[in-house]
Amino acid sequence: MLRAENISYSYGDFSIEGVSLEVEPGELVALIGPNGAGKSTLLKLIHGLLKPKTGLVEVDGRSVFELPTKEKARLLGYVPQSHVPSFSFKTIDFLLLGATPELGPFGSPTEEHRKKAVELLRRFGLESYAEKPYTALSGGQLRLLLLARALMTSPRYLLLDEPTSELDLKNALLVLQTVKRLTADGTGILLVIHDPNLAYLSSDRLFLMKDGRIVAQGKPENVFDEGLLSEVYGIELRLIECAGETILRPRLEV
């Protein structure tokens, strides 16, 4: 289990206070809430990029902050919200960078690493781009490549920060479907996502965050409450049943 307990952290006049959550292997947990709620910061705290003021983060019973780099990479993967290309690597070479934690500062990818990279490209439908610059990929393809790179070390848990941001609906669904399939292999996933409807459709459990605190958690159908969501997002929201699905939509005033 990936577990964060009583996490607190502050910067400037913003603070995260007493946050606890957990992710089981094979489970997709979504973290939702308005901009500035602290979702991305919480993800960095759980990964160990930031150190909390209080609380603990454990992966399979071991502190994230005490894990050696190589072992941590095999337990916990992280895909940030944004990526700015710094060099026009070939797609397969960029993917192989994901193996760096296993290789050390002077190591080179092995034939096994290369075979794994080729398999991941095939799995995510990117094999035809292997020898092309990864900067030529579309937004959706780049998101899939970043996800594939995080899988080079076969982590037991994945932290994904807004993997569907700035994507059209088709590519957003493609990325989410790919992520959801990973849980069938036993991967536990903590997903920060800005669209509550996509979170509802894809997650096993939801955590709703506001002002650095978890204000609700549970099954998606239990967290999706009109009054609660309207209060958290600061606008009037309605839940609509359509073709057997629950959809959250704002009241539009003109």
Are both 77 and 168 inside the same structural domain?
A: yes
Q: End-to-end CA distance of the chain, in Å?
A: 48
Are both 40 and 130 inside the same structural domain?
A: yes
CA proximity to 189, closest of 25, 4, 20: 25
Are both 56 and 139 inside the same structural domain?
A: yes
Tell me, what CATH number does 53's domain have?
Answer: 3.40.50.300
Q: Is the pLDDT of residue 253 over 70?
A: no
The predicted structure's pLDDT at residue 78:
93
Rounded alpha-carbon distances, angstroms, from residue 213 to 34, 38, 60, 234:
12, 8, 24, 16
Percent pLDDT > 70 in the chain is 98
For the segment 115-140, what is each residue's pLDDT rounded down to a tens digit? Answer: 999 999 998 889 999 999 999 898 88
Are both 181 and 253 inside the same structural domain?
A: no
Percent pLDDT > 90 in the chain is 65
For the segment 59-113, what is each residue's pLDDT rounded down to a tens digit? Answer: 999 999 999 988 998 999 999 887 777 788 999 999 998 988 877 666 788 899 9
Total number of domains constituting the chain: 2
Which tokens in the block code for residue 74? 């095999």
CA proximity to 214, closest of 57, 20, 45, 3: 20
Are both 129 and 239 inside the same structural domain?
A: no
- pTM for the whole thing? 0.90
- Give DSSP secondary structure letters for 108-168: ---HHHHHHHHHHHHHTT-GGGTTSBGGGS-HHHHHHHHHHHHGGG--SEEEEE-TTTT--
* Domain enclosing residue 77, as ranges: 2-223
Are both 155 and 82 inside the same structural domain?
A: yes
For the segment 15-26, what is each residue's pLDDT rounded down to a tens digit? Answer: 999 999 999 999
For the beta carbon of residue 156, count every other beta carbon within 10 angstroms: 18
Beta bridge partners of 159: 78, 190
Cα(203)–Cα(189) distance, integer angstroms: 9
Q: Is the pLDDT of residue 247 over 80?
A: yes
CA proximity to 37, closest of 162, 177, 141, 200: 162
Are both 85 and 188 inside the same structural domain?
A: yes
Are both 150 and 86 inside the same structural domain?
A: yes
Are both 172 and 188 inside the same structural domain?
A: yes
Rounded alpha-carbon distances, angstroms, from residue 3 to 23, 25, 88, 145, 163:
7, 11, 37, 27, 22
Q: Is the pLDDT of residue 252 over 90?
A: no
Are both 36 and 61 inside the same structural domain?
A: yes
For the segment 35-61, what is each residue's pLDDT rounded down to a tens digit? Answer: 999 999 999 999 999 999 999 999 999
